[in-house]
Amino acid sequence: MNPGTAQRAVATDAHRLIGDRVHRLGANIVLDENVSWCPPGTRTIQPVNCYLIKGDNGSVLVDTGIRLHEAEIIQQLDSLLEQGERLAVVLTRTEMECCLNLPAIEARFNVESVWYTGGITVPRMSASPQRIMVNPGTSREVEVIDGLTLEFVSPLMRLLPTLWIFDPVSKVLLTSDGFTHRYPGSSTAEAGLQKFQWFAQADTRDIAGDVEEVILRRQVAAIGPGYGEPIVGAGESASEAGALAEAIRKVGLQ
């Protein structure tokens, strides 16, 4: 995304994704040629998301949203966090749509730690940095905050170092820039592959198989992408994983 040219199309309320456990934050943008992941010829509205996972001893924010939505995300966090509640931040990628609101969130809330992968500098203030490495195609369980353990999944579907975050309590999988194809005017898996044009020069069979295995082995109940509409339901999640895997196979070298 070009943050100087992306257009605003705001929806300000946080949304429950699974009960009181997982909430979707963020707002909408106009999806057009100014956005790097936009399929050619598309002009519509698309949500850009981050997610709050509520625990007994604090909460975890997965990504921080784009700078365009800073005020909305701060407002949404205000509505969901108790005064002084402990907060950890997990970044699925150190790209702009994931981390740019971190300083503003640190300035207002009790952020104890920031977890991330890769080697790019994260724009944090005083929170403890927790750089974690997870080999592609594997995962690690991490107690991010007391009593709240998440599984950090390193998918083969990636452009830069990427984490998908699985909450074993709710069975929600937060998929960063994967599964981003559901928005007004599109529900086909191919629409979510604009960022992954290198797939056309690769044997993608293992990548496709990894997408299906991640979803099916964990019996995922909902998928929360970094942008696009979430996918809710175990059957729907499995179906979308199959469709995305097939799209990945088709674009790869045969």
Give the predicted TM-score (pTM) of the model: 0.94
Half-sphere exposure of 249 (CA within 13 A, CB side): 13
Q: Percentage of residues in the chain with pLDDT exceeding 90?
A: 86
Do 89 and 113 form a contact (C-beta atoms < 8 A)? yes
Report DSSP state, residue 227. B
In DSSP terms, 9 is beta-bridged to 28
| CA 218 remoteness from chain centre | 17
Average model confidence (pLDDT) for the chain? 93
Give residue 12's pLDDT band: very low, low, confident or very high (50, 70, 90). low
- How do residues 59-104 score in pLDDT, each as one tens digit? 999 999 999 999 999 999 999 999 999 999 999 999 988 999 999 9
Please give, one letter per residue, the 3-state secondary structure of 161-204.
CCCEEEECCCCEEECCCCCCCCECCECCHHHHHHHHHHHHHCCC
Q: Sign (positive/negative) of CA torsion 181, 50, 28, 94?
A: negative
CA angle 242, 243, 249 (to 5 degrees): 90
Residue given tokens 């996918």 in the structure block: 231
Please give, one letter per residue, the 3-state secondary structure of 107-151.
HHCEEEEEEECCCCCCCCCCCEEEECCCCCCCEEEEEEECCEEEE
- How do residues 32-54 score in pLDDT, each as one tens digit? 999 999 999 999 999 999 999 99
3: pLDDT strictly greater than 50: no
Question: What is the spatial distance between Cα 62 and Cα 219, in angstroms, rounded to a whole number?
Answer: 21
9: pLDDT strictly greater than 90: no
- Dmax of the chain from CA atoms? 55
- How many CB atoms sit inside 10 A of residue 20's CB? 9
121: pLDDT strictly greater than 90: no
**Cα dist from 131 to 20, 69, 123, 239, whole Å:** 29, 26, 13, 33
Give residue 213's pLDDT band: very low, low, confident or very high (50, 70, 90). very high
Question: What is the spatial distance between Cα 3 and Cα 97, in angstroms, rounded to a whole number?
Answer: 9
Burial of 113 per CB tally in 10 Å (0-12, 13-18, 19+): middle
**Cα dist from 126 to 77, 107, 113, 129, whole Å:** 19, 9, 9, 9
Q: Which is the CATH superfamily of the domain at 7-251?
A: Ribonuclease Z/Hydroxyacylglutathione hydrolase-like (3.60.15.10)
Single-letter amino acid code for the residue at 86 = R
For the chain, give every domain's residue range: 7-251
